[in-house]
Chains A and B, each alone.
Chain A
Amino acid sequence: MGKVVVVTSGKGGVGKTTSTAALGAALAQRNEKVVVVDFDVGLRNLDLVMGAERRVVYDIVNVIQGDAKLPQALIRDKRLDNLFLLPASQTRDKDALTPEGVERVMADLKRYFDWVICDSPAGIERGATLAMRHADMAVVVTNPEVSSVRDSDRIIGLLDAKTMKAERGERIEKHLLLTRYDVNRAERGDMLKVEDVLEILSIPLIGIIPESSDVLRASNIGAPVTLADAKSAPAMAYFDAARRLAGEDLPITIPGEKRGIFGKIFGRKAA
């Protein structure tokens, strides 16, 4: 049985879709069968980031409503044989997702894949709660700023209350992924410090992704950053996060902290 991971945040625009794609591609490069599932019905984006927007025929709503079979809706990635996408519908809204339908699809996906990674929509309503409902683990994507941290805190509370695992009295594994970490702003003290975020949210950290134009560039060419430019700083951070998600114990490095004296001087000039 595969593991179901929900990538969630409460707040929009923090990097859920980017992180879903990057973690999915990173795990697939470890030779595990991975499917990324877009739960953002009506505002789908994961197909774009995965570069599959022109290959969408059926989507998750078609599968739930019985208009298509699951294998018909799954799109295989052109670069990685063991990476699949289950797209969301763009023409429907989140009410098209039914709890029974989602349960059936998740049960099927868990049978075929090692990792089922669900890209949650923003908010705390139906779409978000259905995306987290069947998760075994959660990746809480947070930016180092107060509104994102508070929304993440709210989502963690919902994860502990509204998921199947929580209702069975078990604990859902929660991991914090700090994204859009800006090295220059961190040096100036314009951002929340990593330890402050950790102190407020008190869940384990699986990675700090630096703010980088590489992420935007990858999105624009329709590739997860872990496939587009595997040597870039954000890609390396996502690879490490994926390894921690899979259970490996790696020390966390805060981007920019290991820079030498020359780096600092050049960093300031650039800023």
Chain B
Amino acid sequence: MTKVLTDSRSIRIKGRSFLAVVLSPDLPLDEWLIQLDDLAARSAGFFLGRPVVLDVSDLAIDRGQLKALIEDLAKRNVRVMGIEGARPSMLEAGMPPAMKGGRPAADFEVEEKDPEPASDLRNSAPDKPAVPEQRQVTQSIVIGEPIRSGQSVIFPEGDVTIVGSVASGSEVIAGGSVHIYGALRGRVMAGSVGNASARIFCRKLEAELIAIDGVYKMAEDMDPNLLGKAVQLWLEGDVIMAETLF
């Protein structure tokens, strides 16, 4: 009994983002596949072990054609991990899952093995300007009013600052740190997309649940001496640490 209660290990459920190659086929598909074969021939193994997302948002095809396309790609060792922009009618069981909410990133440079590819192919491919990797901008939002019971604030992009209290029965989920200039009575999950350096700050700790990077602590497990105090919480290994602020 005691062992179960004090067991600090817990199941971690995290979000994580990966950079996937997005293929956007054009009609007619036969010609596009020939171009793809050509690209693969010049850069053998380009698709090997790479997650590939199929973007069909601008493609007027039906379910049968989509299925055939996925099979054609599979023959070329291109394994599709997800489909973006598909209408629900285009999908069926057994197909890769639908994906949404993708954010654009810089274009992928295909490393060409052959230093001198056929000139006609080079002309047919659009020029890809070397886009420098965009510098990661730290994003944040500021909310100037209390978070009421039943409301939830979800901001996986970065930090959340709340000038007001977070009520019992509400939740704040942030990719980064969470700053609360008021009482924390609800649930707060910081570093929700896998950020172990995220922290939680509040003026008055009365939380129902707090979590950092998937490690969580219920109200019952919190040090009673911290309750009602201004506290910051952070993660050291698998343990949530806390100290009073003032």
Residues of A participating in the B interface, judged by any CB pair closer than 8 Å: 124, 150-151, 153-154, 156-158, 160, 199-200, 202
Residue from B146, B149, B170 in contact with A202 in the complex, judged by beta carbons closer than 8 Å: B146
Q: Given A200-B165, A200-B167, A202-B164 in contact, is the A153-B183 Cβ separation under 8 Å?
A: no
In the bound complex, what is the Cα–Cα distance between A70 and B127 (angstroms)?
70
Residue from B149, B151, B183 in contact with A199 in the complex, judged by beta carbons closer than 8 Å: B183
Give the shortest distance, in Å, between A126 (CB) and chain B (any CB): 16
Instruction: Select the residue from B164, B165, B167, B169 with max chain A CB neighbours within 10 A.
Output: B167
Query: Contact: A150 with B165, CB < 8 Å?
Result: no
Contacts of A158 in B (CB 8 A): 150
Contacts of A160 in B (CB 8 A): 145, 148
Contacts of A199 in B (CB 8 A): 165, 183
Query: Contact: A154 with B150, CB < 8 Å?
Result: yes
In residues 139-158 of chain B, which contact A (Cβ within 8 Å)? 145-146, 148-151
- The interface size bin for chain B is 10 to 19
Contacts of B165 in A (CB 8 A): 199-200, 202
25 contacts between A and B (CB under 8 A): A124-B150, A150-B149, A150-B168, A153-B148, A153-B149, A153-B167, A153-B168, A153-B169, A154-B148, A154-B149, A154-B169, A156-B148, A157-B148, A157-B151, A157-B170, A160-B145, A160-B148, A199-B165, A199-B183, A200-B165, A200-B167, A200-B183, A200-B185, A202-B146, A202-B165
Give the shortest distance, in Å, between B17 (CB) and chain A (any CB): 29
Give the shortest distance, in Å, between A150 (CB) and chain B (any CB): 5
Which residue of A is nearest B151, CB measured?
A157
Give the shortest distance, in Å, between A89 (CB) and chain B (any CB): 29
Contacts of A151 in B (CB 8 A): 149
Which residue of B is nearest A151, CB measured?
B149
